[in-house]
Structure 1
């Protein structure tokens, strides 16, 4: 292999891992019938003129397996936080107790479980697309390097390296999806 032409596979691998990390974060926000503080992470509330994550306007706790509580620090924001949760699509009905908002997590019915597995599959597909975009960037780097004099053997080597990284990342996405779907369908 030529010393002056090199493809940064570490950067490609880091970007593919970033797609996987984003997928894990999205999976954590999916409600599976058990309470989790991360399930409200994607919800923002209009606080002081800008969209703010709920965990920055109050303390989020999980006191029991089927209950999330949010202790809102500013009384003026309690109504806004409650409204944001109602409109979030989580399917949770918040209950007020002063500045504390309680979110009882109901048992999931079979239909809702199937919907959630489809949502999880959608998240996984977004992650696969992100991984493929990184792969395309890597292949573009290889084409540019070939134009600068990379040998055909080196080109094949780098293409197979990038493809191996892609295959591993896609397999990891599929494995995470399978585990999440099994968790959602577990009664």
Structure 2
């Protein structure tokens, strides 16, 4: 039945979005290496409007432990510095009047464990999203059954939804294992 197929396609799409979102959230959790994407959430007041840091400066990694931020307008240095200090990154920016240098400190064992815990929570949120999609899809399938779809078709569709749920949940498990290894590797 076409409606069932549409429900399954939508479920697949939404589950993939949950996996993609989880992957992008995990990228923001730094694993001791200097990566420009740890600054993704930083907003800078640019002529009064909150603007993503990447839109007002270039971010480079001169080495594995350093980020260099070069604003396109020199008068933004103080504003960028303030935004980094006020963020939850826990980094101390140093500025020489032209660029801002961020030195990424080596991680302590405790910090690594906290980052693994944070990663686990992100992954759990992703799995909750996937299970929510499963529940919503199964509810829609039950409505289709009331509207005349056969019980067998609905049962097969529900089994497929469960397979999708397992498949996408295991993708999130893989993301977590990869992130955990990245964090715990000294």
Shifted more, 80-89 versus 162-171: the winner is 80-89
Q: Quote the residue 2:82 is aligned against.
A: 83
Scaled by the length of structure 1, the TM-score of the pair is 0.93
Please give the secondary structure, in 2, of the residue aligned with 1:6.
Answer: helix
Q: Say whether residues 1:24 and 2:23 are aligned partners.
A: yes
Q: Say whether residues 1:52 and 2:51 are aligned partners.
A: yes
Q: Quote the residue 1:145 is aligned against.
A: 144
1:27-176 paired onto structure 2 within 5 Å: 27-176=26-175
2: CA distance between counterparts of 1:148 and 1:4? 13
CA distance 1:42–1:4, change in 2 (3 Å):
closer
Scaled by the length of structure 2, the TM-score of the pair is 0.94
Preserved CA contact (<8 Å) 1:19 1:130: yes
Q: Tell me how many residue pairs correspond in the alignment.
A: 185
Q: Quote the residue 2:4 is aligned against.
A: 6
What CA deviation, in whole Å up to 9, does each residue of 1:139-163 have, x standing for no partner? 1210110110111101100101111
**Segments of 4+ moved more than 3 angstroms:** none
> Gaps spanning 5+ residues in structure 1: where?
none
Q: Which has the higher helix share?
A: 2
How far apart are residue 4 of structure 1 and its match? Answer: 5.2
> Gaps spanning 5+ residues in structure 2: where?
none
**What's the Cα RMSD here?**
1.3
How far apart are residue 18 of structure 1 and its match? Answer: 1.0
Q: Say whether residues 1:186 and 2:185 are aligned partners.
A: yes
